[in-house]
Structure 1
Amino acid sequence: MNTMIQRILFLIFFFCFFLNFAQVKISGKVTFKNKGVSEINVTLKDTYDGATTDSEGNFSFETSEKGNHTITFVHSKFNEIEKKIFIEDKNILVNAELKEQINEIDAVVVSAGSIEASDKKRATALLTPIDIYTTAGADGQISSALNFLPGVQKVGETEGLFVRGGTGSETKIFMDGSLINNYFSNSVPGIAGRDRFNTSLFKGNIFSSGGYSALYGQALSGALMLESVDLPDQSSYDFGVSPIFLNGGFQKLSESKNYSYGATAGYSMLSLMQEVFNFNTNFIDAPQGFNGDANFRLRTKSGGFLKYYGMFDSNKLGVKTESLEPDYDFALVKLKGKNTYHNLSFKQKFGKYLLNAGASYSYNQSDLNFSTEKNEVESASNQVLNDGNYINFKAVLDRKINKISALRGGFELNNASEKMNFGDINKNFKDLISSAFLETDLGFSNHLSAKIGVRAENSSYLNKTNIAPRFALAYRLAKDWTTSFAYGLFFQNPESKYINSSANLDFQKSQHFIFQVQRSTEGRSLRLEAFYKKYDELIKTQNIIPNADQNQQVQTAFNNNGNGFAKGIELFWRDKKTFENIDYWISYSFLDSKRDFLNYPVSLKPNFAAEHTLSAVAKRFFPEWKTGFNLSYTYAKGRPYYDIITQNNENVIRNEGRLKDYNALNFSINYLPNLGKKDAKAFTIFVLSVSNILGTKNVYGYNFSQNGSRSSAVVPPVNTFVFVGMFISFGVDKTQDAINNNL
């Protein structure tokens, strides 16, 4: 009996002894900015003891450990905290104040004024090559696809990106950081030139409609930064055929997969389509052109990248219209154009520094011949011959301060040499623009970041220097909501085509104020933006006639007394999630703009600016049919037009009015017949595209006779255009990539 009692007393003693160890309680509260934080893992290091904080940030757990220990506080969005404690027989109270973990994925990004498609986690609206090719009405051109984004005006009579009340020349285009001079093909008045560059050449883009980085300059309105593709996945051969063009090319990847080279060539001719469609434009020489390009890409052993791209194209066309002058029956214009462009870029990391350097060379020749016809006899022939050589060099050194902060700086040289012969005008224009810039990204937290920069430029022609500060701030309002503000000062030389005589000119100047609110979730993006732009020192011109017996006039700059403003609001909504296999976006722009520039006698609404612009794009892909159906629609309020002449050395408005509203509904189909073929080593896509399917008769403007008594409308070359084409790639199957990008 005594033995039994002794055993029971021993067990009770042992149990109490055990409880004594387990009764040490560790508790506390975890806070961030004086507020409790839930879901924080609290652990006694190197043990299984711990707990998770509740909704108020409180935690509590018991341990039998004794002595010196470390307690840890862990959460993916906060920096890990460790605290030393000494465990005795008393309960322990441990509180912790967290610090936010700053990282690239969670950090808010400055996005006011920009739409990026090179880094999906930062994108507000993705326009990848597949997006561009499958947007009905874009004709596979980057510039045309951008017309379906907010801020870009629908201007069909001339090439260029007309952004937020700015002219087409006020938006510059860059490739791998280097300026592209003459991005668009040569053309004649009233017909817009096309993109010279193949959309497939680029893997992404950043389109800034204002407030852009200090790394870029000489653009009063916006910048389009294009990033070329790297090494291909494997070697391939490509062919394209349609009634209007034939092209082919190849890409060869080395066995080591550290370098590649390739080339393409193509020929285009519109004469066959003239036989099928009723063109508004009477092409006496149907548009035709030849183009070719070559590329080389090398990944260095140290992880750097060297890229070369070179291209050449030539084109010609001739247009015949009824003459507005009573002495002649017809007016004719013929064009012969040549262009070459070369781009070399290098990227390499040296320790903590990243070097981006690039150089480009461009040569462009445009030979325009204006003439009139009377009884089928040419007379009064005028020739405008332009030659231009352009060299650009740029170097940027970038150093990361931490995960989301960086400092970068560099310099840029842009040299232009142009010649023009037109009547009594024999121009030899030369200018070297030297630039230096410094910019920093400051990440204060995952909720607050800023970009501060400054750019200085000197023009040898103007013999003047400018300094342009830039500033942007972004703040996360809630989980999916961010807001951004951007301010910038921007300078641009007067366009050389208006410099036909000596004048004391200065830089043109604009100031941008941009406020944005954005909500981005998986598959959906909403963007609201308000902006105000102030223009100063815009050039003023007068019309001059090079020879007394010639009908053609040119505008010549004589001072910088112009000014203006542009203000408005924009909406962009894109949704890939709500409807199965359907991707759609809607954009709306309201623009209020006035300018006193060029030959405007007073401050006027620019003839390229529509007050209201609405675009909608919808894409539906049917995997079982291997087919995608695409629709797009654009509406633009009628733009103003003016007939401005020079009388007694003063500009006066002789005729003015407003164009009819612009409407265009576009439709396209793309068919992928290779879907389902296992181990397929070829990719084929058939495309059918119909632009302005309803045949709306849009008008872009009016031409007037010298005395103002007669006028003619500037209209598209054809109201409705149908494109049919087939594209084949051998050696690589891109089918699944195309499907994934459409779903």
Structure 2
Amino acid sequence: MRARWLITLMLTSTLSARGVAAQEAPAAASLEPDFEECTAAAAEGRKDRMEAAAARLEAAASAMEAERPADALVVRARVRSQCLIPFAPYMRKAALLEESNALLEQALQIDPRHLLARFMLGMNHYHSPTFLGRTGAAVQALEQLLADHGDRDHRVVALAYLYLGELYERQGRLSLALQTWRRGAARFPDDPALREKIGKLALEADADSIAPSRPPSAPPEDARYTLAPIVVHGSTYSVDDPRAATRLSQQEVFTLPGGTADIFQTFQTLPGVTRVAGDGGDLYVRGGDPAETPIYVDGARLFHPGRFETLTGSIFGVLDPGAMRAAHFSSGGFSARYGNALSGVVALETDRRPLERRGRANLSIASLGGTLWQPLGDRAGFWATTMLTHTGLLLKTHGRTDEYPEAPTSHQLMVGVAVEPRRGWEISASALSEADETAALVSATGYEGTFTSDAATRLVTTQVRAETPDGRGLVRLTFGASERESRFRFGVLARDREDRALDARLDGELRRERVTFRAGLEGALLDAWTDGIIPASDQLAPGSPAVHLDGETDQAHHVGGYTEVEWRALDRLAIVAGLRADELPGEDRVTFDPRLAAAYKVGDWTFRLGGGLFSQGRWRTRYVLPDGGSPAGVPRRAQHLVAGFQHDGTPALRVEGYVKRYDDYVAEAGNVVTGPPINAGYAAGVDVLVRPQAVGPLHGWLTYSYLKAELELEDGVRVPSHYDVTHSLTAVAKLSVGASELGFTARYATGRPFTPILGSQPLAPGQPPAPIYGPLHSGRHPAYFRLDGRLTQLLPFFGGGVLIAFVEALNLLDRDNVTMYTYDAAYQNRRPVPNFFGDRIFLVGVEARL
């Protein structure tokens, strides 16, 4: 490391600004010998010495966590940066640095003025390579540190002056660098490094007056490769917000074997997400339908997040992970902030204001794209990302062109702009435009033909965010406009639909020493237009009974509000109580949803309990084919009870059990219903996440979900739910050696239920026969298993950039997984329909980051 700034932390404590003068010396005396041991072990290559010291530091962090949670997080961050990173393989260093950054950000959420947390975060960014564009983030962190602590007589403050000046110098802002060093020297007149910088830059300034100006300096040569984190919350409970978190990074999204760099495919590896549709990207959360887990982008609800929609859902998502700053995934018992949702919530946040110019370009066998981040002066900036996908070459090289009369294609554009008129204020806007076309040979319910889908998604959001100077108060105002167009053609089906929505919401948060208050209001106007022909029965062949739609329109609205209080009742106990009230889309009544959660922490272990009521309106946008063998109905209310425990540190472990009850079912509007009506639904299960300790260059994680889901029909009969996938298991393993990484993902799921067809019965002359169904959901699809692999190689690129080359293999074992069963026209012979990745597929690509 160019400047051994971590060693200088021996002069400081792990304590926050509050009470630092009285307490920092004892803390330094007790912890610094172990940090010194890590530094010495790195110099000597003694991993055993480092591991022993790191274990003692982790134990010390656990001991102080109840009384000083922010300090404990900083200790853990230092363990990753100072102890673990020197011994980690190159690719693993990135993940460790992200973990360190995440811990520091959590510490700053608890104490926004934490001196050491702010300094370490700035220095982590300082040492990041040029192509990541983290210089601006480092400047922001150190500027904030000096704004909070610039008048203190503390060694870390002197270092902040020193490194902030170097950052300005890197940006070519020489006068500001000189001014910063002079301010630091005035505050610390005996600091030789600051005096040296002033003298050196003054001489260079004289030389520059007669010579060409020099380019901004690059970051240290040994800068680490990393990617900004995407934070993914599982059941959202942690001791400070009693909501536990599963954390994934952008690097894991981009490099997950079999994830195809897709956010929603990556979500499939999380506990609580059931693999119902095989290779699809739709989220079936804890026994719920995808419509029960809404997707928000910058606070605005997205109608449909997928591309290449088929009769069983979408394959990929419409969002580029390179433009995503954070992704919060709640799988149950979620905050009262979210309404009109029964199973889960995905809240995605796009990038904020770019602080420096950077870009990336990517090319693969199926896509071409790029992203640009560009600052506009000192207080504004914009970003834009685009992606063109054409699967023709991919299908041709894999011999599958006969399955697709026309190769599926899509194009996507996302742009964002942000302005910070003053510190603590931000005004931002983002826009998404996506269109895709699919044409595939499909067989379903006794008919085989070409299914075509043309779809478009558009979304515009505007957000105003204001934060108090001490970081303890926040107000956010969001406006959104969204639109979804879809055209389906298959047999008798010829349906066109347009959905539009305008929504607005206001959220506020106020944090005090032990209590945090949250409240908000939201409203939405929705309308839909539907035209064409839809089947009136299970028959899909041309000439089958049909319902003709003539430009039918429908409108709905949503008005809601919430209040929530988070109370740190004891040092080890946190409680969150909330209440929502809503008039939901399609409903003419007001619902009240109380929610309660608690967390208790003992050392590295956290125990949680939560639950409440959750309501959702009957308004739906997704089309479902008539199916007499599938129970029908839309639930409008769910009761959640969630209990679990979590172990922080290594190994990381989270176990969570849940019980859900659905009721208040109604018929789904806009779809022809032929199946028996549902009266109530039940789901219970256990989700497990394990991140074991890395074994040398080998690391990874494992998730497991057990689910039992049932439906109670109106006649009192109980049958398995559509989504009753009993066991789901995902294992990810990565081997990092130098700048190379080889990874594998194994996915297993027991088969989901289906209703077998026993034969057929004739209908009117000239019409195809109707199926005769067996007992409801008495059959099971075969178990799903898929093994994927990925080889990633990082190569230095000119200008401080990096070239990322990869080869990804999907379905390595060439297993024929089944997505559904279809029949001949007489319903006498059944055959399986394979998943989208039913054959082995190889993807080759390269990405340049500058």
Question: When the two structures are superposed, what TM-score results if normalisation uses the length of structure 2?
Answer: 0.65
- The structure 1 residue matched to 2:707, chosen from 591, 600, 615, is 591
> Are 2:110 and 1:104 equivalent residues in the alignment?
yes
| Residue identity in the other structure for 1:401 | R
| Residue identity in the other structure for 1:242 | S
Task: Name the residue aligned to 2:418.
Answer: 297
> Are 2:579 and 1:454 equivalent residues in the alignment?
yes
C-alpha separation in 1, matches of 2:408 and 2:641: 42
Task: Name the residue aligned to 2:597.
Answer: 472
Distance apart, 1:729 and its partner CA: 2.2
Q: Could you say if the C-alpha distance between residues 159 and 573 of structure 1 is closer, same or farther in structure 2, counting changes exceeding 3 Å? A: closer
Distance apart, 1:341 and its partner CA: 1.2
Q: Could you say if the C-alpha distance between residues 506 and 163 of structure 1 is closer, same or farther in structure 2, counting changes exceeding 3 Å? A: closer
> Are 2:612 and 1:488 equivalent residues in the alignment?
yes
Query: Any idea what SS the aligned residue of 2:294 has?
Result: strand
C-alpha separation in 2, matches of 1:337 and 1:468: 35
Within-5 A mapping of 1:488-567: 488-497=612-621, 508-521=636-649, 523-540=650-667, 554-555=672-673, 562-567=679-684
C-alpha separation in 1, matches of 2:65 and 2:784: 52
Query: Any idea what SS the aligned residue of 1:114 has?
Result: coil
Kept in 2, the 8 Å contact 1:129–1:204? The answer is no
- The structure 2 residue matched to 1:282, chosen from 403, 406, 422, is 403
C-alpha separation in 2, matches of 1:499 and 1:267: 26
- The structure 1 residue matched to 2:751, chosen from 627, 634, 638, is 638
Task: Name the residue aligned to 2:256.
Answer: 135
| Residue identity in the other structure for 2:327 | N
- The structure 2 residue matched to 1:714, chosen from 820, 829, 833, is 833
Query: Any idea what SS the aligned residue of 1:224 has?
Result: strand
- The structure 2 residue matched to 1:417, chosen from 505, 527, 540, is 527
Q: Which structure 1 residue ranges, 5 or more long, are not aligned? A: 1-42, 55-74, 80-100, 372-380, 545-552, 731-743
C-alpha separation in 1, matches of 2:285 and 2:507: 27
> Are 2:539 and 1:429 equivalent residues in the alignment?
no
294-303 or 638-647, larger mean C-alpha shift? 638-647
C-alpha separation in 1, matches of 2:402 and 2:274: 23
Question: When the two structures are superposed, what TM-score results if normalisation uses the length of structure 1?
Answer: 0.74
Q: Could you say if the C-alpha distance between residues 223 and 348 of structure 1 is closer, same or farther in structure 2, counting changes exceeding 3 Å? A: same
Distance apart, 1:654 and its partner CA: 6.2
Greater Cα radius of gyration, structure 1 or 2: 1
Query: Any idea what SS the aligned residue of 1:604 has?
Result: strand
| Residue identity in the other structure for 2:462 | L
Q: Could you say if the C-alpha distance between residues 465 and 628 of structure 1 is closer, same or farther in structure 2, counting changes exceeding 3 Å? A: same
Within-5 A mapping of 1:182-201: 182-185=304-307, 187-190=309-312, 192-201=314-323
C-alpha separation in 2, matches of 1:574 and 1:498: 36
Task: Name the residue aligned to 2:156.
Answer: none
Task: Name the residue aligned to 2:512.
Answer: 401
Task: Name the residue aligned to 1:344.
Answer: 462
| Residue identity in the other structure for 2:459 | Y
Kept in 1, the 8 Å contact 2:424–2:468? The answer is no
Task: Name the residue aligned to 2:276.
Answer: 155
Distance apart, 1:586 and its partner CA: 1.0
> Are 2:486 and 1:366 equivalent residues in the alignment?
yes
Kept in 1, the 8 Å contact 2:444–2:821? The answer is no
Greater percentage in helix: 2
Q: Could you say if the C-alpha distance between residues 160 and 660 of structure 1 is closer, same or farther in structure 2, counting changes exceeding 3 Å? A: same
C-alpha separation in 1, matches of 2:402 and 2:480: 36
Query: Any idea what SS the aligned residue of 2:719 has?
Result: coil
Kept in 2, the 8 Å contact 1:472–1:485? The answer is yes
Distance apart, 1:227 and its partner CA: 2.5
C-alpha separation in 1, matches of 2:788 and 2:316: 18
- The structure 2 residue matched to 1:702, chosen from 821, 825, 829, is 821
Query: Any idea what SS the aligned residue of 1:695 has?
Result: coil
C-alpha separation in 2, matches of 1:76 and 1:596: 46
Distance apart, 1:583 and its partner CA: 2.4
Distance apart, 1:556 and its partner CA: 7.4
C-alpha separation in 2, matches of 1:145 and 1:579: 24
> Are 2:339 and 1:217 equivalent residues in the alignment?
yes
Task: Name the residue aligned to 2:536.
Answer: none
C-alpha separation in 2, matches of 1:387 and 1:684: 41
* Alignment coverage as a number of residue pairs: 600
| Residue identity in the other structure for 1:481 | W
- The structure 1 residue matched to 2:360, chosen from 238, 241, 250, is 238
C-alpha separation in 2, matches of 1:627 and 1:112: 29
C-alpha separation in 1, matches of 2:575 and 2:255: 35
> Are 2:494 and 1:383 equivalent residues in the alignment?
yes
Greater percentage in strand: 1
Task: Name the residue aligned to 2:91.
Answer: none
137-146 or 506-515, larger mean C-alpha shift? 506-515
Within-5 A mapping of 1:639-654: 639-643=752-756, 653=774
Distance apart, 1:468 and its partner CA: 0.4
C-alpha separation in 1, matches of 2:611 and 2:422: 41
Task: Name the residue aligned to 1:10.
Answer: none
Q: Could you say if the C-alpha distance between residues 540 and 688 of structure 1 is closer, same or farther in structure 2, counting changes exceeding 3 Å? A: same
> Are 2:784 and 1:662 equivalent residues in the alignment?
yes
**Percent of counterpart pairs with the same letter?**
20
Within-5 A mapping of 1:326-337: 330-337=448-455
Q: Could you say if the C-alpha distance between residues 459 and 583 of structure 1 is closer, same or farther in structure 2, counting changes exceeding 3 Å? A: same
| Residue identity in the other structure for 1:613 | S
Distance apart, 1:387 and its partner CA: 0.7
Distance apart, 1:668 and its partner CA: 0.4
Kept in 1, the 8 Å contact 2:65–2:603? The answer is no
Instruction: Give per-residue Cα distances to partners, 1:302-352, cap 9 Å, x unaligned.
Output: 321222111211111212246865xx8x42221221221112222102576
